Amino acid sequence: MRIGIVCPYSFDVPGGVQFHVRDLAEHFLAEGHEASVLAPADEDTPLPDYVESVGRAVPVRYNGSVARLNFGPVTASRVSRWLEQGDFDVLHIHEPVTPSISLLALWSAEGPIVATFHTSNLRSRAMQAAYPLLRPSLEKISGRIAVSEDARRTVTTHLGGDAVVIPNGVNVARFAEAPVNPSWQGTPDAPTLAFLGRIDEPRKGLPVLAAAMPAVLDRHPGTRLLVAGPGDVAAARERMDARVAAATDFLGMVSDDDKASLLASVDAYVAPHTGGESFGIVLVEAMSAGAPVVASDLPAFVRVLDGGRAGVMFANEDARDLAGKLGDLLADGPERERLCAVGQRRAEVFDWSVVAADVMAVYETVTHSTQEPRASSAGETRWTRLLRGRRAGEA
């Protein structure tokens, strides 16, 4: 199958959508399909052979984060040329209402179109205002996917119709087989904790974790906090208690291999995010690597952690509760081992072998329905109605 995949966000900066697009394309390529990815990227950004850049993106604030997008007439012509040259059997657009190349591709494309929605934002006034303008284009989508129930609710609330939930994927084996790095590995007297995320972005929760750390250090004086991700390290240190700053190692940006090794080495992974998360891919990565997870009780995180059975949950933005849960976990070796085993079993649900098969089922459904249009909807099932994104009650 010839598959075109459109990513609205720049490949210059790592992010959940970019990783999802990359891994999905590589999985299909490994299975023998033809896959091409279109995405923004700076000229000097190293890109895999299957990725074509539409040029540099500009930063735009949205949903508590900063997205790097690309839009305009020159970009539109590049998108159209890529579509024409690709002659794809199915076009898979990620975040189709984002004002970047995803929306441009939706406007230009014909034929079977699948859209994946990643965003969780039930109060988005921008989406509500844009819907009347976008409705004709959205009707071109043959199959809708949401990466979580939260993302699905955002679709149904603001865009109408429905979507099937297919989660983000992880190469579980790569994380499970990652080597331990002795410099990141903890000991009974000096356990290690990991945080991954942009340190300047408040919703990623580093300030909450920093506020919890003094109480953790009171109970476990040798604890080290390993922080991986981009941002202003000097400013982050200044906001920390002196003891916490001294116990924190800022690793900066880490490679995929180092990320896996970091998660395989620490005594616990902490996800103190405060909102705006529709899934929580890093939780799955941590579970795959064997790291017990301590996460805020965001609905998306609760679902990934199987209602809290596969990890420890704490009250969102409650540094005292986080400190208590972390302190208890670091004091309980058998519990960490139990969570490691439960988490690794839970992670298998999100392996790409499972997730990509579900995505391919959507591709096959929409391409088949396009080739053989039905004269009547009498034989439709709930599955086909959801794939087509139809409103309840439509004939």
Question: What totals of helices (H) and strands (E) does the chain contain, helices first?
Answer: 16, 15
What CATH code is assigned to 172-349?
3.40.50.2000
Report the pLDDT value the prediction gives residue 370, as an integer from 0 to 100.
62
The gap from C-alpha 71 to its chain's centroid, in whole angstroms, comes to 23
Q: Residue 282: pLDDT above 80? A: yes
How far apart CA 81 and CA 4 sit, in angstroms, is: 13
Strand partners, 60: 67
Report the pLDDT value the prediction gives residue 368, as an integer from 0 to 100.
87
Beta-carbon contacts of 371 under 8 Å, excluding residues fewer than 6 positions away, are none
Question: Is the pTM for the entire model greater than 0.85?
Answer: no
Report the pLDDT value the prediction gives residue 176, as an integer from 0 to 100.
97
Strand pairing class (58-62; 65-69) = antiparallel
Residue limits of CATH 3.40.50.2000 in the chain: 2-169+353-388, 172-349
Report the pLDDT value the prediction gives residue 245, as an integer from 0 to 100.
98
Beta-carbon contacts of 276 under 8 Å, excluding residues fewer than 6 positions away, are 63, 64, 65, 120, 121, 203
Report the pLDDT value the prediction gives residue 257, as an integer from 0 to 100.
96
Report the pLDDT value the prediction gives residue 375, as an integer from 0 to 100.
39
Quick: pLDDT tens for 162-174. 999 999 999 999 9
47: which 2 tokens?
């890109």
DSSP secondary structure of 218-268: HH-TT-EEEEES-S-HHHHHHTS-HHHHHTEEEEES--HHHHHHHHHHSSE
Quick: pLDDT tens for 100-115. 899 999 999 999 999 9
235: which 2 tokens?
């400013």
Q: Residue 382: pLDDT above 80? A: no
Report the pLDDT value the prediction gives residue 391, as an integer from 0 to 100.
39
Tokens 């004002």 — which residue?
A: 99
Q: Residue 332: pLDDT above 50? A: yes
- Tell me the pLDDT band of 128, cut-offs 50, 70 and 90: low
What value does the CA radius of gyration of the chain take, rounded to a whole number of Å? 22
73: which 2 tokens?
């007439």
Quick: pLDDT tens for 223-241. 999 999 999 999 999 999 9
Name the percent of the chain lying above pLDDT 70: 87
Q: Which helix (H) or strand (E) holds 294?
A: strand 293-296
Beta-carbon contacts of 77 under 8 Å, excluding residues fewer than 6 positions away, are none
Does 2-169+353-388 carry CATH code 3.40.50.300? no
- Tell me the pLDDT band of 354, cut-offs 50, 70 and 90: very high
DSSP secondary structure of 100-111: THHHHHHHH--S
Report the pLDDT value the prediction gives residue 133, as an integer from 0 to 100.
65
Residue 78, CB-side half-sphere exposure with 13 Å CA sphere: 19
Quick: pLDDT tens for 41-93. 888 888 999 999 998 877 666 555 556 566 778 888 999 999 999 999 999 99
**What is the pLDDT averaged over residues 27-53?**
94
Mean pLDDT over all residues of the chain?
A: 88
Report the pLDDT value the prediction gives residue 126, as an integer from 0 to 100.
56
Name the percent of the chain lying above pLDDT 90: 71
How far apart CA 143 and CA 125 sit, in angstroms, is: 24
Query: Which comes out higher in pLDDT, residue 372 or 374?
Result: 372
Q: Residue 376: pLDDT above 50? A: no
